[in-house]
Amino acid sequence: PELATYPKIVHGFSTRENGNMSFKWGEAKDVIANRKNFLQELKLNPLTGVSAELMHRDNIVRVGNQEASQGILQAPSLQADGLITNEPGIFLMYVVADCLSILFYDPEHQAIGLAHAGRQKSNQTIARAMIQKMTQEFGTNPANLIIGLGPSIHSCCYGFNQLPNGLDGWTPFIKQKSDRLFYINLVGWYIYELSQSGVALENIYLSEHCTAHSGKFFSHFEDLKNKQPESRFAAVIELK
């Protein structure tokens, strides 16, 4: 909600009530209807948005009017885990279900970014890569960035019998509890990555919702555990 105080951006997250937002996990006609209804709630035009297929890497693409409408009412052809733009009227969108969506806003240069951030080793540097790319493209000063961390799985629920591979350097963000499970603090890792890249901690706003237990958002982790059909929710940011 803190991001709502910035008048030059629009942002939002769909909920279970908005339905599945992923072409991979649903019928195209249902996904299109769900997306249209959700975007209408935010007063966004589907023809002015850009989305991309997630690769679980740190690849970032600058987009604008030329890419408008790609991946919004059809499956995306663009492949990227981070999108940036400084063109007003263009919104960025990803679909997630436990992984973190990171919203970037540079009020000095009027630029935005959206990243998908997970625990896969190839994706762990996405926050740093986003800041480097925005600095390169727009002259962004990390100290001036405003960051929103969307609903994601929190350490209270992200437990594993065996520690997954590829978590080098994550020791401060892993805790083995009395149930012998290893709990991963995904959010903590990315707050650390952002702060190490020069973002001020007071400029990082965190969603209180854990996707695994809030019941408000879709959760890959919980759906697998409960053998339920999977779905995804949307994260969106636009520069006015």
According to the model, what pLDDT value does residue 2 have?
85
Mean pLDDT of the chain: 95
Measured CA to CA, the distance from residue 165 to residue 167 in angstroms comes to 6
According to the model, what pLDDT value does residue 224 have?
85
According to the model, what pLDDT value does residue 239 have?
97
According to the model, what pLDDT value does residue 173 have?
96
According to the model, what pLDDT value does residue 122 have?
79
As averages over each run of 10 residues, the pLDDT of the chain (240 residues) reads 91 97 96 98 97 93 96 94 98 96 98 96 92 98 98 95 92 93 96 98 96 94 87 97
